[in-house]
Amino acid sequence: FQKGLKHDEL
């Protein structure tokens, strides 16, 4: 399971 970018918005 590869990590994605950090998205802080909903």
Partner 1 sequence: LLFLRSWSTRARISGKSQLLFALVFTTRYLDLFTSFISLYNTSMKLIYIACSYATVYLIYMKFKATYDGNHDTFRVEFLIVPVGGLSFLVNHDFSPLEILWTFSIYLESVAILPQLFMISKTGEAETITTHYLFFLGLYRALYLVNWIWRYYFEGFFDLIAVVAGVVQTVLYCDFFYLYVTKVLKGKKLSLPA
Q: DSSP 3-state helix, strand, coil percentages of the chain (rounded to 5)?
A: 0, 0, 100
* Cα distance between residue 9 and residue 2, in whole Å: 20
Q: How many residues bind partner 1 (CB under 8 A)?
A: 10
Smallest distance, Å, CB 8 to partner 1? Answer: 5
Smallest distance, Å, CB 2 to partner 1? Answer: 4
Q: Segment 1-10, which members bind partner 1 (CB under 8 A)?
A: 1-10
Please report, as a single letter, which amino acid is at residue 3. Answer: K
Please give the residue ranges that form the binding site for partner 1 (CB under 8 A). 1-10
